């Protein structure tokens, strides 16, 4: 890269913090050659153990702001994105300029509500209100507070259209998890042919023995 500064910006998943349950922070730790920028999309109340989920448009604005500030501070830098889960659709909706490559880990291709609502209804102490505020306990120990705007915006998103449009600006590499425990298998023939697809063994967060092979693949793609 002709000795240019190399920066990777990370876009984490829904209902989590920037370490994304250890996934993105561990990837960053194993890419010491580059500058890593991790940031939080959501406000957290530590005392009440609550995380306040924002509508997708707010997340798009936040990612755009981080990217534009990075470009302004380092105008000659090579900038890549690593995105996980819902953070992938945020990046696709943002369609930022000046990104060399975007690595999309276990991207979301189905933004319908039924799968998510079935999962939430199976939990205890859940308050679902698509016209008001939903309160959803999560495995992270933080209770999700979800406004109606989140559901409304989510229903309007067409993932394949967004990913394919993003691919016109940026080289995209999708990394699927063969044993994804969160997202269902999806026919990807609608994806633009320029988008490279890699399938790796692992669950949605590439935990345990799946983590190191993922990191090595990412190093090969971005370094």
Q: CB-side exposure of 211: number of CA atoms within 13 Å?
A: 14
What's residue 198's pLDDT? 98
What's residue 59's pLDDT? 98
Decide the pairing of beta strands 35-37 and 101-105: unpaired
Question: What digits encode the pLDDT tens for the residues 96-109?
Answer: 999 999 999 999 99
Domain 6-42+56-110+157-222 has CATH 3.40.50.1820: yes
Question: What digits encode the pLDDT tens for the residues 25-81?
Answer: 999 999 999 999 999 999 999 999 999 999 999 999 999 999 999 999 999 999 999
CA 171, CA 195: separation in Å to the nearest integer? 7
CA distances from 168 to 36, 68, 134, 137 (A): 25, 19, 36, 38
Whole-prediction pTM: 0.96
CA 179, CA 131: separation in Å to the nearest integer? 34
Residue 1 has pLDDT above 90, yes or no: no
Question: What digits encode the pLDDT tens for the residues 184-205?
Answer: 999 999 999 999 999 999 999 9
Residue 121 has pLDDT above 70, yes or no: yes
Residue 119 has pLDDT above 90, yes or no: no
Residue 2 has pLDDT above 80, yes or no: no
Q: What is the mean pLDDT of residues 130-156?
A: 94
């Amino acid at each position: 890269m002709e000795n240019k500064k190399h920066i990777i910006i990370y876009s984490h998943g829904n209902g989590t913090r920037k370490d994304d349950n250890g996934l993105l922070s561990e990837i960053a730790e194993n890419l010491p050659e580059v500058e890593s920028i991790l940031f939080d999309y959501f406000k957290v109340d530590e005392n009440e153990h609550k995380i306040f989920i924002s509508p997708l448009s707010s997340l798009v604005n936040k990612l755009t702001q981080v990217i534009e500030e990075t470009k302004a501070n380092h105008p000659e830098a090579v900038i890549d994105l690593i995105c996980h889960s819902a953070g992938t659709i945020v990046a696709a909706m943002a369609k930022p300029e000046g990104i060399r490559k975007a690595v999309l880990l276990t991207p979301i291709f189905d933004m319908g509500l039924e799968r998510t609502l079935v999962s939430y209804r199976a939990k205890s102490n859940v308050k679902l209100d698509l016209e008001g505020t939903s309160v959803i306990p999560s495995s992270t120990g933080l209770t999700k507070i979800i406004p109606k705007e989140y559901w409304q915006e989510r229903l309007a998103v067409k993932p394949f259209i967004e990913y394919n449009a993003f691919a016109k600006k940026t080289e995209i590499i999708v990394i699927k998890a063969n044993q994804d425990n969160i997202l269902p298998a999806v026919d990807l023939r609608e994806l633009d042919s320029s988008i490279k697809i890699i399938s790796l063994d692992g669950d949605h967060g590439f935990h345990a023995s799946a983590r190191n092979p993922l990191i090595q693949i990412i190093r090969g793609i971005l370094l």
